[in-house]
Structure 1
Amino acid sequence: MASGVQVADEVVEEYKFIKKGKKYRYIVFHIKDEKKICIDSSGDRDACYQDYLDHLASLGPDECRYGLYDFEFEHACEGAADTKRSKLILMIWCPDTAKIKKKMLYSSSFDALKHSLEGIGKYIQATDMSEAAPECILEKIKSTARS
């Protein structure tokens, strides 16, 4: 079911910068006026995952967002030293405490965003901080990592 929410051009443009240029560590998107997915904020390359989580927490308990994060982690291939890998994750952040209408809008519009941003490594759904915790994300990434 299409929600009719459009993805703003800026979203796709800036996505190229995080994917190729490594301009940002993360970009947070929101749905503006129930019509368009727009950029809400972004974090520089030196931002860490905690900065991203702090931003989500600062929005309050009833705000939903999408977060694109360039997640770096150590990955050991068999018989090789640990190598730093990075994977782009796209998170839908819908706290349990958010209004049902808002959660439905974000859920139904997630596909539009997924289709606009090609080459995402992992999709994550989080309803609270424990689901968004770095070790939880890492586990999800590694469960599908190709060695």
Structure 2
Amino acid sequence: MSGVTPTDKCKEEFAKLKHKRAYKFITFKIDQDAGTVDVLDLHAKTFQMVLDKLPADEPRYLVMDWDVENDDGCQMSKIFFVSWVPDTCKAKTKMLYASSKQALRNALEGVHLDHQATDYDEITPAEFNDRSLGK
């Protein structure tokens, strides 16, 4: 365990996403000086806008309220916990995010699916649709 803990704001904002559907996406970032994981950004925008904000060389955690339609035409919603750790990150940073992930994940009760991505090709709408539908 890295000793990095999620702030209360992480849980509060996740509850708003989960229960009130106040937004679709939350990004989180580790503050190494404070030893915490905190909310970086809240989004009610499109997936592409969130994706455009993910840095190519810095890790983030992301929670998404993902909507998908199944083969019978029924709308479904799945909450994903995404660990974004690009291959271009320094090894020390990768280790910090890997060792801190579970503390944040455990604090966010009600996440349906986990996803780990190291490259933009691994974080696409098709990927989340397939995962939501169990493909």
In the other structure, the counterpart of 1:40 is 40
Root-mean-square deviation over aligned CA pairs = 1.2
| Structure 1 runs, 4 residues or longer, greater than 4 Å off | none
Give the percent of matched residue pairs that are identical in Structure 1 and Structure 2: 34
Q: CA–CA distance in 2 between the matches of 1:43 and 1:115? A: 22
Aligned AA (1:68): V
Unaligned runs of 5+ in 2: none
Deviations 1:27-80 (A, max 9, x none): 000000251000111102xx1111111111xx3x2210000011011013xxxx
In the other structure, the counterpart of 1:17 is 16
Does structure 1 residue 114 correspond to structure 2 residue 105?
yes
Superposed displacement of residue 134, structure 1 = 1.0
Aligned AA (1:74): E
In the other structure, the counterpart of 2:82 is 91
Q: CA–CA distance in 1 between the matches of 2:61 and 2:96? A: 12
Superposed displacement of residue 138, structure 1 = 1.7
In the other structure, the counterpart of 2:126 is 135
3-state SS of 1:82 partner: coil
Q: CA–CA distance in 1 between the matches of 2:104 and 2:87? A: 21
3-state SS of 2:87 partner: coil
3-state SS of 1:110 partner: helix
Does structure 1 residue 71 correspond to structure 2 residue 69?
no
Aligned residues: 134
- When Rg is computed on C-alpha atoms for both structures, the one with the higher figure is 1
Superposed displacement of residue 141, structure 1 = 2.2
In the other structure, the counterpart of 2:91 is 100
Superposed displacement of residue 16, structure 1 = 0.4
